[in-house]
Structure formats: C-alpha cells, structure tokens
C-alpha cells in the first residue's frame, strides 16, 4: 500500500473494526522508516476479527507518523469494508487519507495522501463439520479428552505423548479392543486438533 505524503518519514498503520459504536484495534502494521512511499508487508487477519462475518461493517484505517517516544502524529484516516476490500486491486480501492481537523481549518486542503490496496486474498479454513458436509465417510470416531491432569503432550511423561517409537496409553487401549478389524489395512488414521497447544496432529497406529 503506497502512501504518497510530503510530511512523514515513518508511519504506523492500524486497522480497526467497528463494534457496538466503537472502533477496536484489529491490526497494526510494522513501521516503515525513511521513505515517503511506504509499502507495508502483507498480513493475515481472521474475518471474524476484522468484521465478525459482517461484510459491510465499517473498517477504519488510521495512518500515523511514527515517533520513537510513542507520541505518534496522526496523519489521517479512511474507511472501507470487507466487501470493498475483497474486490482486490482496482480503482475503487485507492483511498484518500483525510485529516478531519485539517479539513475543517484549511479550505484548500485536499488530503494527506492516498493508500492503495495492492492485493487481497481469502483463504478458507475448513472445519471438521465442513468435511462431513462435503461427504467425507467415517468408519470410526473416538473422542479423547486432553485434560491438563495428563500433563503436557510434548513431554514423555504425559499419557498423550506421541512417541515415534511406541504407542501411548490411548493408542494401546484403542488397539486392545480390536477396532483395527474394522479396516482392511488394519490401521486407524486419527486426525484432530489440540486446542490448548494450538497445533494439529495426525496419527496412524
């Protein structure tokens, strides 16, 4: 997003989403120094954080002249929405950065620069329910409670620890009840998520 300004060297760009009459910060970009034409790095933000699924909800972007002491100077702002941003790079996604105070005081004031959207891409994160709706066939399901009392799964002392050399207690229990007879390959492919550690695992035994 190039910003054409004649008064700022360092900029802080923040993204806010409109919630219940107030703007809440959703994202802050990195600071681009020593340039009048900053180009910020691409970033990823969940749709729920940006607009909570409301594609027409107002999204406000603030642009600042960054100061080391934290007293950043406000350059200007503009508003948009997820629906507008999703159009990608075009003439409609070039925004005038306006400073309300300067606009009210200076008759000849036009803007404090422009911000151009260079790219926009939506990446879907499919859930377990999406796979079921899509026709995924399940021959076997099991629920395992990753209770904290069993310890950290990354530690060998945990009952959930997945060693590359031997099965853990849960794997041995599942195998002991002869569930592998349900599959001609005599293997069970287990896929799921461990929310507390925010990671995914895939296990075959």
The CATH number assigned to the domain holding 43 equals 2.60.40.150
Same domain flag for 21 and 95:
yes
What's the total number of domains in the chain?
2
Residue 121 within any structural domain of the chain: no
Print the domain residue range for 44: 11-116
Predicted local confidence at residue 196, as pLDDT: 40
Predicted local confidence at residue 100, as pLDDT: 92
Same domain flag for 145 and 192:
yes
Same domain flag for 136 and 188:
yes
Same domain flag for 160 and 66:
no
Predicted local confidence at residue 30, as pLDDT: 85
Same domain flag for 15 and 100:
yes
Residue 37 within any structural domain of the chain: yes
Predicted local confidence at residue 95, as pLDDT: 92
Same domain flag for 89 and 23:
yes
Contact in structure between 85 and 94 (CB atoms under 8 Å): no
Same domain flag for 111 and 143:
no
Residues 6+ apart with CB under 8 A from 91: none
Residue 4 within any structural domain of the chain: no
Predicted local confidence at residue 16, as pLDDT: 57
Predicted local confidence at residue 31, as pLDDT: 85
Predicted local confidence at residue 66, as pLDDT: 80
CA distance 41 to 54: 25
Same domain flag for 74 and 147:
no
Q: How would you classify residue 34: left for phi > 0, otherwise alpha for psi between -120 and 50, otherwise beta?
A: left
Same domain flag for 139 and 192:
yes
Contact in structure between 146 and 160 (CB atoms under 8 Å): yes
Predicted local confidence at residue 93, as pLDDT: 86
Same domain flag for 193 and 147:
yes
Domain end (from 89, 116, 143): 116
Same domain flag for 147 and 109:
no
Same domain flag for 93 and 150:
no
- Mean pLDDT in each 10-residue stretch from start to end of the chain (205 residues)? 38 50 81 82 86 87 82 88 89 90 91 91 84 81 74 82 82 69 63 44 41
């Amino acid at each position: 997003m190039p910003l054409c300004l004649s008064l700022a060297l360092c900029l802080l760009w923040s993204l806010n989403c409109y919630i219940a009459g107030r703007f809440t910060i959703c994202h802050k970009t990195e600071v681009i120094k020593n340039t009048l034409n900053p180009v910020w790095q691409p970033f990823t933000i969940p749709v729920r954080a940006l607009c909570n699924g409301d594609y027409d909800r107002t999204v406000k972007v603030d642009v600042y002249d960054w100061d080391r002491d934290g007293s950043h100077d406000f350059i200007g702002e503009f508003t948009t929405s997820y629906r507008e941003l999703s159009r990608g790079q075009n003439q409609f996604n070039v925004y005038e950065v306006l400073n309300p105070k300067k606009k009210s005081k200076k008759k000849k004031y036009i803007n404090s620069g422009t911000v151009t959207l260079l790219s926009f891409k939506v990446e879907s994160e499919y859930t377990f329910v999406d796979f079921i709706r899509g026709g995924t066939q399940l021959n076997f399901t099991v629920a395992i409670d990753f209770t904290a009392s069993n310890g950290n799964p990354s530690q060998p002392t945990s009952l959930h620890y997945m060693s590359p050399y031997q099965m853990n207690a849960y794997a041995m229990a599942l195998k002991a009840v002869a569930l592998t007879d349900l599959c001609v390959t005599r293997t069970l492919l287990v896929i799921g998520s461990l929310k507390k550690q925010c990671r995914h695992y895939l296990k075959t035994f």
